[in-house]
Amino acid sequence: MISIDFLIVPLVLVVGGIFTLLTSNFGFYVAVKGDPCLLLTYAVFLSIQFFILMIGIIST
CA-CA-CA-CA dihedral for 42, 54, 6, 12, to nearest 10: -10
Taking a C-beta distance cutoff of 8 angstroms, is the pair 15, 23 a contact? no
pLDDT of residue 24: 92
For the chain (60 residues), the mean pLDDT of every run of 10, in chain order, is 79 86 92 91 90 80
Q: What is the pTM of this model?
A: 0.71
From CA 47, how far away is CA 45, in angstroms rounded?
5
pLDDT of residue 12: 81
* Cα angle 38-57-42, degrees, rounded to a multiple of 5: 0
